[in-house]
Chain A
Amino acid sequence: MTAEIFDRGYRQYGGERSGVPGAVKTLVKYSIRRSLGLGRSARFKIIPVAIILFSFVPAIVFVGLAALLPDEIGDNFLPSYAEYYGFITTTLYLFAAFIAPDLLCTDRRTGMLGVYLASPLDRRSYLGAKAISVAIMLGIVTIGPPLFLMIALVLEGSGPEGVDGFFKVGGQIILGGLVLAIVYTAVSFAVSAATDRVGTAIAATLGLLVGSSVLANVVVNTTDVTNNVLMLDLLQLPTELAFRIHGEIGNEEWLSISTTNLWLACIGIAIASALWVWSRYGPLLVRR
């Protein structure tokens, strides 16, 4: 004989509550799911899946070629870790431009921000969770494919040697990827904090990246200013630093700029973005 409960009624919850760390973890998980289009209709999955696919495809091809045709491809066929950034920069710009606006602008526009601020999260932990989510998503593109490439280089015989070598190259890949992810997170966050409209934020992020590059290069090439002005080029700046982390020079025009200056510029962008975003969110009243 079986019984079925039709009305469970309302049950009290007497268990532990995970507090602020749990809320941050939940928001990070939810934001990443949202960015990947999980739990949403198919059209929301197209862009993230396509971008991740495009960033991984070259690495997967290189691994395949190195595994299947090791003799035919030769010793110098595979790109270096730094050179691989050339394959992913465009997808990275697009990813940066699409993710942060969807996560930040949508919350303000739909009033979800009010719901979040009525949970254990406050403005600081909310923004921190969102920044972590965007950085993780960008990190998938900036760190994942070069790690794949490492497999191809190992198969080709030109990969890192010994445990020390793996740790060194692995560290460079992670650090370089983090620099790219953090700088682009900072740029797209700053833009997304300025408008509630997702479309406007996407266009403005792309415009800022491309516009800064054009402006910096025009100024340096048409005037006598120092090459340090090139650091205003938001497209190239983090990539150049990522090259230096791998011990390479990305662009000859940037040779005269010291690595210290590149670090300072990238850190400056992250701090300036954080201050700007806080200036937008700090005085924000709870929206009803």
Chain B
Amino acid sequence: MDSLVTAAAVAKSYGSFMALSDVTFTIEPGITGLLGANGTGKTTLLGMMLGLHQISGGELKVLGVDPYTEGHLIRARMGYAPEHHTLPGDIRAADFVHHVAELHGLPPREAKTRASDALWLVGLGEERFRPMGTMSTGQRQRVKLAQAIAHDPAVVLLDEPTDGLDPEQRDEMLRLIRTVATSFGISVILSSHLLDEVERVCDAAVIIGEGRTLAAGSLDALRGSGADVVLELDSASEAQVVAGHLTQKGLNHQLDGRKIVVRGDDETAFDIARDVCVAAGVSIHRLSRRRLSLEDVFLERAS
């Protein structure tokens, strides 16, 4: 299947201000997290993906075409759930979702039926005729998800979809997002600053920082991207002994209690770590490739 989004050295400037300077990534079908602290250019990037802002440099393709020149075609096949919660309070959820589905090109009758279906699917079937102003934050987040998927888009952009939700509602929303991708066949681009959320639900991530790509790829690749090895022993004293041997071997490492992170190419580090433990006569509790959390990746790349 073709890539959903490809960005090659994309830049965006506003006058002398450089919002994005070198953004390169590929988003494949599935669930992809777009990560970055506030003010790092995520919104600008979303705007460019929707064809609302022209890029200043590089190349950007969404669903295979230039989003700026073919913006209306792209947006007809995209769903978007904004971050804010202040949707028109006097409008009923069903009317709102119906309206958005029609905006994306569905015939009125089809839009009405699908709006109702989408609200049932997100768990608001019984509440669909309530004005949105009377709904809780959790319900409004579901309405936003329903309007984003009602017109059967190829991809949905969800902007902070768990913002304002309690832990239970958050779990439910993440489950729904997973269902959208796995059961409904709609790819999801999830913009968030919550690393653990992306880690829980996404297949891949693009991490933006200071206007450039810090890291991009599948979560497995990103979390395994540290080539180091983690050596865990039974006690801190044994770890100190092994650390001494590693120093003698000239291997860069970091001691943390009974755990040692051995730096270096994983194949070589694996062998040396094993041999050192045998030489020191200590038993190995765990020897594995170091698995990074997204937070580790983020902090490492940002620094």
Contacts and interface: CB of A to CB of B under 8 A. Distances in A.
Nearest to B79: A118
A288 B107 contact: no
A286 B76 contact: no
Chain B interface, DSSP helix/strand/loop, else mixed:
mixed
B99 interface: yes
A40 B103 CA distance: 20
Interface stretch (A11-19, A136-144, A219-227, A243-251): A11-19
A41 interface: yes
Contacts of A41: 90, 131
B40 to A, nearest CB: 13
Interface string B65-101: 0000001110110111011101111111001000110
B96 to A, nearest CB: 9
Contacts of B110: 13, 15
Given A20-B72, A288-B82, A119 B103 contact: yes
Contacts of A168: none
Contact of A106 (B82, B88, B106, B160): B88
Interface stretch (A22-30, A186-194, A210-218, A264-272): A22-30
A114 B107 contact: no
A116 interface: yes
B88 A120 contact: no
A111 interface: yes
Given A11-B114, A26-B103, A115-B147, A286 B90 contact: no
B105 interface: yes
Contact of A19 (B86, B102, B105, B107): B105
A286 B46 contact: yes
Contacts of B76: 17, 19, 119-120
B84 A288 contact: yes
A122 B86 contact: no
Q: Which of B102, B110, B117 has the most CB of A within 10 A?
A: B102
B227 to A, nearest CB: 37
A283 to B, nearest CB: 9
Interface stretch (B151-159, B165-173, B206-214, B232-240): B151-159
A118 B72 contact: no
Interface in A13-68: 13, 15-20, 22-23, 26-27, 30, 39-41, 44
Contact of A115 (B82, B90, B121): B82
Interface in B88-140: 88-92, 95, 99-100, 102-107, 110, 114, 117, 120-121, 131
A13 B88 contact: no
Given A19-B105, A23-B105, A286 B43 contact: yes
B152 A286 contact: no
By secondary structure, the A interface counts as loop
B242 to A, nearest CB: 50
A115 B156 CA distance: 12
Contact of B104 (A11, A17, A285): A17
B131 to A, nearest CB: 8
A112 B43 contact: no
Interface in A245-288: 285-288
Interface string A103-117: 000100111101111
Contacts of B73: 120
A42 B75 CA distance: 35
A141 to B, nearest CB: 23
B72 A19 contact: yes
Interface string A90-133: 00000000000000001001111011111111100000000000
A26 B159 contact: no
Among B73, B88, B103, the most chain A Cβ lie within 10 Å of the Cβ of: B103
A114 B52 CA distance: 10
Contact of A13 (B51, B75, B152): B152
Contact of A286 (B52, B105, B106, B120): B52
Contacts of B185: 12
Contact of A110 (B71, B86, B92, B104): B86
Contacts of A115: 80, 82, 100, 147
A287 B44 CA distance: 10
22 contacts: A8-B120, A10-B117, A13-B151, A15-B110, A17-B105, A19-B105, A30-B99, A39-B95, A109-B86, A110-B84, A110-B87, A110-B89, A114-B80, A118-B78, A118-B157, A119-B75, A120-B103, A121-B72, A122-B71, A285-B43, A285-B47, A288-B43
Interface of A: 8, 10-13, 15-20, 22-23, 26-27, 30, 39-41, 44, 106, 109-112, 114-122, 285-288
